[in-house]
Each structure stands twice: as structure tokens, then as C-alpha cells.
Amino acid sequence: MSSNLKRDLTARQVQMIALGGTIGVGLFLGASSTIAWTGPSVLLAYMLAGVFIFFIMRALGEMVYTHPHSGSYAKFANDYIHPAAGFLTASSNIFNWVVVGMSEVIAVGTYLRFWWPELPTWIPGIVVIILLTLANLASVKMFGELEFWFASIKILTILLMIVAGFGIIFFGLGNGGNPVGFSNLWTNGGFFTNGFTGFFFALSIVFASYI
């Protein structure tokens, strides 16, 4: 039996994994918290965070292109700052993914309790962990295919939410045919519903969503 590693991920799978990977529980589940804290100014929070993330990713992209090391940004911190910075970067990255992974698992239970309120949150979490583990252990090709379709579902959901939003604003979808319009951006508490304090609280969740 050959023990050689194979690059079985196709271009479409990698592209969809990249797109789907930017859409997580921070956007779907965290949006309610950010809107409650800061109101319509959550739009400004996402734009502000997006500008920062754009320049960070642009810089990282150039460094990866120039120095294609497998260690990525931990390697860069080690080479250009200090080995301690590299260690802290790698360690915080591991910790980050542990936290993010668990938050995603908890979110599954939270979503399912909408339909089954009596369902313990840990049950769907365990099921998800088992299914994802099996998918990762099976083969790279199967993992890529599952990720492709899961990411497609998330992207389609985002597109449908945008369409529904326009329907509510311009055609009164779900509001008895009465268009909501844009007045809610400055009425009912104003653009900064809870002031700048609420805005900065929401900003932390927004940055977490981008992570």
C-alpha cells in the first residue's frame, strides 16, 4: 500500500472552503448580539473591521508569496520580531481554533433548540464532532466534497438573507406588504442605539466574526 500523500482537493473545493470559511457562527448567531448592543451602527462596525482585516490579509498575502513557509504568520513573527512572538502567535492560534471550534459546536445545539426546545445542547454537539471527525479521517477528497457543499449552503443562505432584506425594505415582505424603508437606521434609538460604548462592545464581536 502506498503511503505517499496526495493533493486531492480540487480548485472548486479550495475556493469554496475559502469563501465558506469566512462565514461562521459569529455572523449568523453573533449578529443578534451586535445589533442589540449598537443598533444600525453595526454596519459601520463591520465596515471598519473589514478595512483593518483587508490590509492585514493583504500584507500576509504578500509575505506568504515572498516567503512560502508552512508556518505562515507564526513563522513571520518568529523571523521578523522574535522567537517568543512566534511561539505566542502559534499558541494563540491553537487556542483560538479550540475556542472557535467549540463555539461552532455550541451554536449547532442553540439553533436546533429553536425547533426542539427540550433538546439538550450537548447532544447535537457530540453528533457534529463525531461526523466531522469521521469526515476528516475518511479521505481528503471526501472532506473537500463535504466542505464544498456545506460552504455552498452557507453562501446560499447569505444570498437569500440579502434578497429577503431587500424584500422587507422595498416590498414589505412579511410586513403586510408595507415597505419598511430605511427610516429604522436613524429612528427607534438612533444610529448608535446604545452610544459609543455599545458600539465598541459590538466591535469586539464583529472582529471575532471576521476571525
Residue 16 lies in a domain: no
The total number of structural domains that make up the chain: 1
Per-chain mean pLDDT for the chain: 86
3 occurs within a structural domain: no
Taking the model in full, what pTM does it have?
0.74
Structural domain includes residue 177: yes
187 confidence band (pLDDT: 50, 70, 90): confident
Q: Considering the domain boundaries, does residue 19 fall inside one?
A: no
Q: At CA 25, angle to CA 21 and CA 30, rounded to 5?
A: 135
150, 20 Cβ separation under 8 angstroms: yes
| pLDDT tens per residue, range 15-45 | 888 888 777 776 777 788 888 888 899 999 9
How many C-beta atoms surround the C-beta of residue 49 within 10 A? 19
Residue 112 inside a domain? The answer is yes
With vertex at residue 133, the alpha carbon angle to CA 135 and CA 102, rounded to the nearest 5 degrees, is 125
What per-residue confidence (pLDDT) applies to 3? Answer: 63
What confidence tier does 83 reach under pLDDT thresholds 50, 70, 90? very high
Phi/psi of residue 70, nearest 5 degrees = -70, -20
Instruction: Provide the residue range defining the domain that includes 92.
Output: 37-53+72-210
Mean pLDDT of 79-100: 88
In the structure grid, which three cell numbers stand for residue 99, read together?
475556542
pLDDT number for residue 52:
92
